[in-house]
Amino acid sequence: MSREIIIADTRSNLDLESKFQILKTFELQNRHDQTIIIETSEFSAVCPGTGLPDVAKLVIEYVPDRLCVELKALKYYLFSFRDDAIFQEPVTDVIFDQLMRLLKPKRLKLTMRYNTRGGFDVTTVAESPVVTRSAESEKK
């Protein structure tokens, strides 16, 4: 007897391309690497199991290569998940993948600390390996 619960992929219900189009960037103007840390406690989506809101503190830490995320667009992008029924782990993957696609950073870490629900504290973390790019490799 299997103890595994089979649940449909909650990402399949989302229009991911429309969400991605909300995001905007601007060109990095620094000469030195900087870690940019963006935090908000206003992220929410809907738990597909209960229909209740999943509220999280979201922390994005990244070292840009050439591009930075524009904050107003990021706010609207994150708000776009508010009515979406998606589990905590897949939404972390979606946001992480879309930020990697958009920014192509040297490093990215996304942490989502969800409010306590049912007596459980859940934190999901997606992190990229450090990428070093030389000027020569960018020209190719």
Catalytic residues: 47, 54
Among candidate residues 38, 57, 51, the one with its CA nearest the CA of residue 116? 57
Tokens linked to 32: 């030195």
Pairing of strands 107-114, 123-127: antiparallel
Residue 48: alpha-carbon gap to chain centroid: 19
Rounded Cα distance between 88 and 86, Å, is 7
Identify whether the C-beta of residue 94 lies closer than 8 Å to the C-beta of residue 55: no
